[in-house]
Structure 1
């Protein structure tokens, strides 16, 4: 067998007997031992010692030099043979998996970094090695978790895989895996250099004939994107992985029962899934037929994590589907029985668990999310085949059940059981590592932290506090004391740590070994010490600036946390210029944290720097495209950019004069383009906040400005539906309503001319689009807005007038006249009482209303009469208007109510003359 086959075996994590007959038996034995988890033998071999041993002759006993200078690895090995490179790969994999065993899968490792790195002449302690590695693992301003075990192995694997490789194509894959594990050691994720991703692309072509390898690669990339919060990119990688592996899956419904007392089968959500036909060996311990259409469920395997029973008096352990229930007709999976689905390949199970994570990330936080995720988890839990996969499935189920009263007990107990199983040796290390890289499995400390957080949510504060203190997660310890209304205790702990009265575990060991060198402690613990000063700044607002600045100084200006905290402090105290300076440094250190970009954008807005605000909010929505507030703010910024002559917030003295040759059309084009961008931003905001009426109101205004009248109608309808019951006519925007009526009551050509004259060349297309929409149903849509949405819910004089103008444009004279009369009846002239005292201006307005309605009756009355005469039966379809009599009645009633107070007013003569004119008719 060739070296390429050994490379692939290392990637997959499975050794076959055929590989033992390799042309190089020593390499084959090292690779086999690495895959089987015999890391002690591999790392103590002569090949590993030649690579890794630290020699005291290098003058490295004081650990002042970085690791890559201490270890006997030359930085340039371009002349190495394929065999030499493969040895480096094997040693690097052994180091990486040794670190994973110590901190993720368990059980405890039987080899220490010092056993491999230190020669007898070296006088460096094991703990100093670990502390130095943790200090070097700090990256992007984020410290590494200081209690990570055997961190030296991770640092050494980084150094090995960063060396140049010419022959071994899998080196870039292992470099990526090492970087992904490193991300989970940091407090917050940080961006990776682009080459980590770009170097993986050629591997797809190399593994094109091996579908499972390509599926693994795509899945691992998706998990990194998931960790960084890039949900859309992650989802695409997960979908690509299903295509590579050939798995078919479908979320559908099937009849079944969920409770013990349920009598009638109801439709239940179920995930139907089927793997492509593979060798049945990969599906052990389940026994499957060659076609993968049936499965005999194996007896419980003692090597797998314990699956706790629910033991509820109402809920069933799992949904019982009707045996005859099938998938939807026409589906590729319609042949599968939901009650007895075939076992999936373990790699396909990993993909389903990843898709489940993406459902959580891309769905709103309500009950539907849990209902969507549960079928994915159930499909995997029902066929346990691998220790790591089953652990991850049980962990996801525990998270889903944590919010339900009937399942919260099992959820917490199951999480405790998963924590307890880590140190055990109930399953082989090779099995635990087999699918580790294609799972989002948390580390030991993350799992224990989650258990402590679960205790805290249940009110079991003391148990949570004990776990957090053991993990030395001081922020969480402070939160526990605050929940017990003892904030002073939290401050005391942080001050004791900083002043040396209370020491962390590694610091105690370090002082014992090195004689308590204070300078050494500051070098090793600078990242953690800076974090403690930031925490103290959070707890003592009166000294916050001093503490944050000290954290920044101690970290040698690398602490993103210090600048984030200081920038936020300045923002809350309205020192926006100072906040911008600090937050720019913070996002330069770690650009993946959306909150920092958001506060920076808000600071720019307060300073009037629209270009800076735009860039900040764009980064926010790139990181989290469901951030409604950022989308809304981005739209506001675009609109302000459209009306502001200076987008950079510069003062008048700093602004550069506009060139005299700059045309007005260019300014108009820029303004209109910014409005379009604002419109698109608000449309994105509505996708994720459909019930936010303020976003709908902004969306309606911008839609009118860009000429999307259909969307303006939809937004106004939504506002009336949501708010009219509470605020009545305040849900209406009369300006928008009247503009919509104007659009549909004037000819399209006129509309185009007006818009072109207003906004020149940029809006020519918008005007043309408006003309097209006019011909494709906009009048009927506006009419529907009045008759189906607004008028059944609210009424006002201005609304009826707009409705009457719309009907007039459609030449519906009788309906238009009725709407005008309804508007008059809601006006001041019709509602005033006899003898009521009015201001002179109010009286004159009322007189104008009477004159207007009489003129309308004069103009519309004959047209309505003409319509009635043309009726085929010669009968009035409107019940007979008799407009002359109605006009006289309106005038007579109004004059009778106001005669006592306003008979001597000059406007009274107008009413008298009008009465005489009507009498002559």
Structure 2
């Protein structure tokens, strides 16, 4: 039938809202699509049209679900009809799974209703168990209590078929992948072709702001789920540009407490939508005084989750802005009143919530993050437009408020309310599903887990334990028993589960499947493997045996087993075994930074520099904020650059490598055998890592060493300053690398002291402009001395280096004072009466002789300084304190110096 509006039906499925202009409901494919869009999944999945697709191939459930049905289009069918049918049923199956596990209300269709008469004997429990086992992916098990997992598996199988006429199939594969990732224990890398298949669709939808905005947003959410924060941020910004959303985080005068009298600048997010409202009801903003939804009809208030009131005696329900103008006067949004902003389109609300998540990902872990995120959340909460987006906004606010004493109570009650409202029918299913794929809404069990963790943070361990046991999250159950100082209870639970004495799901008992033998047969291998790993964590003496058993049970697919075994061997310095296990682990799931880091450390201990470099490279690719990995990556570049075998032991005499696993610092030294290109790579790696480890003095020290080696002296100067700032109070003069300091001064004084006199010389002009030499470096070195080093620490070499810098400036009196300060804290200046060390005394005599020469050279250049009297006083005082050495040959030199100064003073 060529009359089927294929593209229109695809768009309706994507948008989640039926177009009343389409009236061809006699067409079975149009009618089926309408049922799917409106959330009538039982009608869609059990329709006569659907049954043509769910034809059985076999009568027994002893094969994969992919071999159960005739999903392929028959040769006699219209290929367009067949693809629309498969897509609609795939969407219906996917959304049925989402309804049962995310949005509610309770689902009215079961897998058995779809596959009845296909297989005998069969139950909903048995088909779901097969589906859960097949949904395990990348060595990570699927959550075994997920409801109707067979629907998700059927959706995957339908979407995996080839589509030639339906353009949106790759998008639905993306949505199915997002849902699938959230039921796994850990995120797993997705095939590269998934993102590549979306590029043509992005180009085709460029003219449609609503659909293109959604597609970019959902791509960003996948990146967010896989911890690819930079890529996620780019997609979120593209989504905002596609929809025309304008937003700006700025300040406006306002109050946050009930007793505040002085208006202060408060953070506010100004935002304005440019999407078509699409006949959406516009909800009025929240009242300032009570925080409740004002002047709302009953129908409007009933379709969004309940917003819990704060009821605090000090804090206002929300910031009360007293200024109608934002602080930024040159902004495109300065016409918006912060206290009365226009409603946003629901898709734009989803984009703001995603941008809020990205603020958390790309900001340091301190209070500023909460302050930055709160305006995003408040902007969405102020105008409820959709059940799902409002639920997500309330959930984010609950998380932000969980760490503050005045808001923790509302935070917990709000989270409980969000869980309780899921089974209700306060809003239509189509409304709940319409923007579900545009927000990272957690599943029911994840929200309950979050509530249990909230109880744990408040010390309510028993309540948390009850939730974890009901959810059968045994890892958290074990932790709770550990917190109650009864770890043996956790061990007993795990052994009962593994030996079949304890049944997991209540559904199993309800269906008469409680016998241990049967449970051992149907329990999927991924979940059993995880239990063996948990037991290994609790029984260190048998840990290796349990981890090996987990690996065997999973048929060598459990990444958790290999990660645990690799960590076990690493902690016991069995590095070759650790490397073998960790390589298997990262091959199964390459998204876990910790596994790569330990692999890199183990390879480093085995002097496998190439392997360590690759591992640390993967660490920083997955998490660019991992400062330790950047530091170790830099060290590996230098190790790889060592041309000689015997240079390995010398590579890092100054370089400090922190092994985060054991806290060991390895020492070594850079050598000339390292190629400059490798040194430059190390320099860049350290520079990147310091963006995220600004307080790590070891990394600054390493950066200083490499910067000196590659000629980046200005950066070396900055690094030395940071090292002194971080360690000066504890280490004193030892915090200053005096060799580096002297090299910095040498680089300055190499240039002309007064380049203005010879500006015609191109070489001199270059020295003035070069930031690593002469006057280009002078300012930084001068600040380093005056504001950083001399205000904290001192030593003779530091004063001599400073005096040399002052000499270059022709500041003779200041230079002489610096030399004298260095003398006073040196060997000669601090030598006490009664000293018996001859060698030390001879060293001191050399210092006296040196300071006398300095006085004679610098003294005449100062107009008011009485340098002769100063020199005589120095010699006389030193001789008075060291008369025990009168018999030494050097004593005559001191007598001669005293005589010379005496004559000069008398003249």
For normalisation by structure 2, the TM-score amounts to 0.91
Specify which of 884, 889, 914 is matched with residue 868 of structure 2: 884
Shift of 1:511: 8.6
Task: Sort the Cα spacing of 1:51 and 1:821 in 2 relative to 1 into closer, same or farther, 3 A.
Answer: same
Find the aligned partners of 2:436 and 2:521 in 1 and give their Cα distance.
Answer: 35
Deviations 1:788-807 (A, max 9, x none): 32223322211111111222
| 1:316-335 correspondence runs (5 A) | 316-335=316-335
Paired residues, what number? Answer: 861
Task: Sort the Cα spacing of 1:577 and 1:328 in 2 relative to 1 into closer, same or farther, 3 A.
Answer: same
The equivalent of 1:663 in structure 2 is: none
Find the aligned partners of 2:647 and 2:423 in 1 and give their Cα distance.
Answer: 58
2:31 aligned with 1:25:
no
| 1:554-633 correspondence runs (5 A) | 554-633=553-632
Shift of 1:324: 2.7
Task: Sort the Cα spacing of 1:536 and 1:281 in 2 relative to 1 into closer, same or farther, 3 A.
Answer: same
Shift of 1:286: 5.5
2:843 aligned with 1:845:
yes
Find the aligned partners of 2:435 and 2:674 in 1 and give their Cα distance.
Answer: 53
Find the aligned partners of 1:515 and 1:830 in 2 and give their Cα distance.
Answer: 89
The equivalent of 1:781 in structure 2 is: 780
2:804 aligned with 1:805:
yes
> Which protein is richer in helix relative to its size?
1
Shift of 1:774: 2.4
The equivalent of 1:636 in structure 2 is: 635
Deviates more, 1:740-749 or 1:42-51: 740-749
For the aligned residue pairs, the C-alpha RMSD in angstroms reads 2.6
Shift of 1:917: 4.7
Find the aligned partners of 2:163 and 2:620 in 1 and give their Cα distance.
Answer: 38
| 1:440-839 correspondence runs (5 A) | 440-505=440-505, 508-509=508-509, 512=512, 518=518, 521-522=520-521, 524-643=523-642, 645=644, 671-747=675-751, 771=770, 773-774=772-773, 777-834=776-833, 836-839=834-837
Task: Sort the Cα spacing of 1:411 and 1:507 in 2 relative to 1 into closer, same or farther, 3 A.
Answer: closer
Shift of 1:279: 3.6
| 1:150-169 correspondence runs (5 A) | 150-169=148-167
Find the aligned partners of 2:525 and 2:176 in 1 and give their Cα distance.
Answer: 24
Find the aligned partners of 1:248 and 1:314 in 2 and give their Cα distance.
Answer: 33
The equivalent of 2:16 in structure 1 is: 13
Specify which of 892, 895, 906 is matched with residue 912 of structure 1: 895
Task: Sort the Cα spacing of 1:569 and 1:381 in 2 relative to 1 into closer, same or farther, 3 A.
Answer: same
The equivalent of 1:191 in structure 2 is: 189
Deviations 1:227-275 (A, max 9, x none): 1111111011000000000000000000011111111111100000000
The equivalent of 1:653 in structure 2 is: none
| 1:324-403 correspondence runs (5 A) | 324-403=324-403
Corresponding residue SS for 2:556:
coil
Find the aligned partners of 2:647 and 2:417 in 1 and give their Cα distance.
Answer: 57
Q: Is the 8 A contact 2:751 2:774 kept in 1?
A: no
Find the aligned partners of 2:771 and 2:142 in 1 and give their Cα distance.
Answer: 60
Shift of 1:80: 5.1
Shift of 1:838: 2.4
Task: Sort the Cα spacing of 1:78 and 1:601 in 2 relative to 1 into closer, same or farther, 3 A.
Answer: farther
Find the aligned partners of 1:896 and 1:495 in 2 and give their Cα distance.
Answer: 83
Q: Is the 8 A contact 1:283 1:343 kept in 2?
A: no
Find the aligned partners of 1:378 and 1:45 in 2 and give their Cα distance.
Answer: 44
Q: Is the 8 A contact 1:888 1:918 kept in 2?
A: yes
Shift of 1:178: 0.8
Task: Sort the Cα spacing of 1:75 and 1:576 in 2 relative to 1 into closer, same or farther, 3 A.
Answer: farther
Find the aligned partners of 2:511 and 2:775 in 1 and give their Cα distance.
Answer: 81
The equivalent of 1:659 in structure 2 is: none
The equivalent of 2:40 in structure 1 is: 38
Corresponding residue SS for 2:220:
helix
Shift of 1:127: 1.1
Deviations 1:191-226 (A, max 9, x none): 010111110110112112111100000000000110
Task: Sort the Cα spacing of 1:261 and 1:916 in 2 relative to 1 into closer, same or farther, 3 A.
Answer: closer
Where does the alignment leave 5 or more consecutive residues of structure 1 unmatched? 289-294, 651-666, 750-766, 866-875
Q: Is the 8 A contact 1:257 1:265 kept in 2?
A: yes
Q: Is the 8 A contact 1:215 1:244 kept in 2?
A: yes
Find the aligned partners of 2:477 and 2:68 in 1 and give their Cα distance.
Answer: 37
Deviates more, 1:810-819 or 1:384-393: 810-819
Find the aligned partners of 1:465 and 1:304 in 2 and give their Cα distance.
Answer: 31
The equivalent of 1:214 in structure 2 is: 212
Find the aligned partners of 1:40 and 1:154 in 2 and give their Cα distance.
Answer: 15
Deviations 1:546-572 (A, max 9, x none): 000000000000000000000000011
Find the aligned partners of 1:698 and 1:842 in 2 and give their Cα distance.
Answer: 34
Specify which of 174, 180, 188 is matched with residue 178 of structure 2: 180
Q: Is the 8 A contact 1:610 1:648 kept in 2?
A: no
Corresponding residue SS for 1:52:
coil
The equivalent of 1:898 in structure 2 is: 882
Find the aligned partners of 1:790 and 1:670 in 2 and give their Cα distance.
Answer: 31
The equivalent of 2:229 in structure 1 is: 231
Q: Is the 8 A contact 1:594 1:623 kept in 2?
A: yes
For normalisation by structure 1, the TM-score amounts to 0.89
Task: Sort the Cα spacing of 1:390 and 1:827 in 2 relative to 1 into closer, same or farther, 3 A.
Answer: same
Task: Sort the Cα spacing of 1:345 and 1:776 in 2 relative to 1 into closer, same or farther, 3 A.
Answer: farther
Shift of 1:747: 4.1
Deviates more, 1:455-464 or 1:540-549: 455-464
Corresponding residue SS for 2:52:
helix
Task: Sort the Cα spacing of 1:544 and 1:464 in 2 relative to 1 into closer, same or farther, 3 A.
Answer: same
Find the aligned partners of 2:208 and 2:548 in 1 and give their Cα distance.
Answer: 54
Find the aligned partners of 2:673 and 2:888 in 1 and give their Cα distance.
Answer: 54
Deviations 1:526-550 (A, max 9, x none): 1111000000000000000000000
Q: Is the 8 A contact 1:141 1:559 kept in 2?
A: yes
Q: Is the 8 A contact 1:710 1:781 kept in 2?
A: yes
Task: Sort the Cα spacing of 1:620 and 1:76 in 2 relative to 1 into closer, same or farther, 3 A.
Answer: farther
Where does the alignment leave 5 or more consecutive residues of structure 2 unmatched? 287-292, 650-670, 754-765
Q: Is the 8 A contact 1:20 1:29 kept in 2?
A: no
Find the aligned partners of 2:719 and 2:101 in 1 and give their Cα distance.
Answer: 53
